[in-house]
Structure 1
Amino acid sequence: MRDVILGTLDMETVSALTIAEVDSGESDFEDVVNLVDSMIVTNSPPENSRVNRLDAIIEAAKEVFAEKDFAKATISEIAGLAGVADGTIYEYFQSKEDILLSIAATRLGSYLDKAASAFDIKSPDRKLRRLIKYHFSSFLSDRKFLKVFLLRLHTNDRFHRSKAFEIFRSYCQLVEDVVEEGKAAGVFRGTVNSRVFRNMFLGAFSHMAMRWLVLRESARVDKMEEIEQVTGLLTSAVMANPAHLRTQ
């Protein structure tokens, strides 16, 4: 586009001063603008192209942030991995932290949407078991985001003041709501502090997931068995009558 415009101006100058086709280049100005406007409209990237480019940037950033210390990660690395120019990144984000928080908001929002619509179960204890397993399976399905969440977001002050954290709080509220529902139904003990249980659940997940990340493939770990065990432990912690604990 730049070459087209500059080349046009050069030729208009030749037409006016050398060939004398027109009195001056200014007389063709509106015609030039008309042609350029049409090129801009015709060749501007379609919306789905912008979405695909944004997705590529997000995926590239996840990989960079997961594998490299955040302070040492660069926009150039993200752009290179995404296959775009550095300047393209700034069409969508102002900084590395903006990209990081956007990753969190997008992924956590997806988890929240799916969780809120996936638990049409009346029994509170079965619902709690399902929610615990859903949490594990969701985070483990995207290893890069899991690593970013545990290592780059958990202790990030800006994350705790962001829209992404508000989404995460809404997600965590699902756990507290299920506990309160169980208490009201007499299935869970009335003395259970739902906030403390939420922290127990999230803490157990974080420690288990971090251990799995550290071990990677160097040790045989039966994740499904461990998830089943911790699901049973957490559910039994709130049951009014653990002997009647239902299995999923």
Structure 2
Amino acid sequence: MKVDQAVAQTGTRESILKNAEVLVSDNGIQNVTISEIAKRTGVADSVIYHYFKNKEDLVFSIAKSHFRNAYNELHDQLEGILEPVSKLSKMIWYHLRYGQTHYNYPRIWLFECRANRSFYKHSAYQAVRKYAEVLLSILQEGVKQGSFRNDVTMRLVRELIFGAMDWEILQGLATPSEPYQLSHIQEIMALILPMIETPPRKLAENNDKASRIVEAAEQMFSQCGYKNSGIKKIARLANVAEGTVYEHFKNKEELLFYIPKLRWTEHFNSITEVFEVKTPIKKLARFIQHHFMLILTQPMFIKTFLLDLQLNPRFYETEAFAIFQDYCCIVDQILEAGKIDGSVRESVDTDKFKNLLFGGFNHLALRWLILKPGQKTDRLAEMDETIKLLTRAVIYNP
């Protein structure tokens, strides 16, 4: 009898998770209530609270369930594959395929979990770390077997790979008419392998009120998050009246979206030094360095961009996103010039490289600024190694 009861309870919990996944994916966590989830599941509200502390715990548990399932399935997928390159390719394929076959999960993972600071303190995050360790073990195994270089920090490579995959999925969510394709695995691997394969032997004082408001909002969003930042607090920090804020911005959301528009425009305009370098590979290295320096020079903006903007579906409807796209297209120009002069491999897929670059940046910035902000890390050394890895991914070696 006790066994039957345990099975029934497990079934109820799984049913709650599945129904919540559909509702939250379609509407967002803020627009779904516990009562709606209970009604769809066919249980009382109290039953949900028997299994989950609150709505946030329920949503985080959806991600936890998926990462546990993915971890177990991945073990079966990799069984019998001995060669590290094949294992790496298989894991990337599996990770992207899982997002395709579990349609609702990517939205919940990227928009509701990764964008929420509380997620990283939840037990679900440990399931994510356990899953990520599989990729690291593949890379380290490749080093032991001599297939991968022993002078590369494989934890850094792992960040780049997961960043590239997240970016690939995120772009598919942002543009549903152009979903990511599993056939792109070869293009992704063609960028990763050159990085890791063993080579063959051969805020100052400001009197402008609008600027003070923007700087105060950037600081407030970075420290407290968008949802916990109010116009009154921003006005107080900027040393202006609350009404003054509304003279410049209609509401808090308009202020949020103005920040990336301003910062990416500033960064875009400051990048002219990249084009003072003549060779495409040196231009690419200079661009990557310039981009990564944002973590050091604009940490508050990058935190806000990662958590409150990039994982916000409405960001992709703004003028700020168009400016960001123009900025990213500088990479297209550099790689095209490299293909013309022969310094960049003709087979390099530009879009996949941008996924690797910008997605990897996101993961590194997340670790440096949010997950382990107090940890002593030689960021400049990691930055230099990242530049070497990314340029190695595209360079032509006859």
Tell me which interval the TM-score lies in, with the shorter structure as reference length.
0.7 to 0.9
Q: Which residue of 1 aligns with 2:267?
A: 111
Shift of 1:51: 6.9
CA–CA distance in 2 between the matches of 1:129 and 1:118?
A: 9
CA–CA distance in 1 between the matches of 2:256 and 2:295?
A: 16
Alignment map for 1:67-216 (pairs within 5 Å)? 67-213=223-369, 214-216=371-373
CA–CA distance in 2 between the matches of 1:119 and 1:166?
A: 22
CA contact (8 A) 1:101 1:164 kept: yes
Of all paired residues, the percent bearing the same amino acid is: 38
CA contact (8 A) 2:274 2:286 kept: no
Code of the residue aligned with 2:372 in structure 1: it is: L
CA contact (8 A) 2:235 2:241 kept: yes
Normalised to the residue count of structure 2, the TM-score between the two structures is 0.47
Which protein shows a greater Rg? 1
Cα distance per residue 1:41-71 (max 9 Å; x no partner): xxxxxxxxx9700111011101111111312
Alignment map for 1:52-63 (pairs within 5 Å)? 52-63=208-219
Q: Matched residue of 1:73: which SS?
A: coil
Cα distance per residue 1:179-211 (max 9 Å; x no partner): 111111111110101111011000111111110
CA contact (8 A) 2:294 2:302 kept: no
Count of aligned pairs between the two proteins: 192
Cα distance per residue 1:192-248 (max 9 Å; x no partner): 01111011000111111110012112x210001101111111101101118xxxxxx
CA–CA distance in 1 between the matches of 2:273 and 2:262?
A: 17
Shift of 1:159: 1.3
CA–CA distance in 1 between the matches of 2:244 and 2:257?
A: 18
Cα distance per residue 1:2-60 (max 9 Å; x no partner): xxxxxxxxxxxxxxxxxxxxxxxxxxxxxxxxxxxxxxxxxxxxxxxx97001110111
Shift of 1:80: 0.8
Structure 1: stretches of 5+ with no match in the other structure: 1-49, 243-248
Root mean square deviation, CA, Å: 1.5
Code of the residue aligned with 1:158 in structure 2: it is: R
CA–CA distance in 1 between the matches of 2:355 and 2:207?
A: 36
CA contact (8 A) 1:133 1:231 kept: yes
CA contact (8 A) 1:140 1:146 kept: no
Q: Which residue of 2 aligns with 1:229?
A: 385
CA–CA distance in 2 between the matches of 1:60 and 1:153?
A: 17
CA–CA distance in 1 between the matches of 2:265 and 2:273?
A: 13
- Structure 1 residues 72 and 138: alpha-carbon distance in aligned structure 2, compared to 1, 3 A threshold: closer
CA–CA distance in 1 between the matches of 2:237 and 2:301?
A: 16
Normalised to the residue count of structure 1, the TM-score between the two structures is 0.74
Q: Which residue of 1 aligns with 2:142?
A: none
Which consecutive segments of 4 or more residues in structure 1 shift more than 6 A? Answer: none
Code of the residue aligned with 2:346 in structure 1: it is: G
Q: Matched residue of 1:189: which SS?
A: coil
Code of the residue aligned with 2:373 in structure 1: it is: R
CA–CA distance in 1 between the matches of 2:295 and 2:265?
A: 13
CA contact (8 A) 2:289 2:387 kept: yes
Shift of 1:178: 0.6
CA–CA distance in 2 between the matches of 1:145 and 1:172?
A: 17
Q: Which residue of 1 aligns with 2:107?
A: none
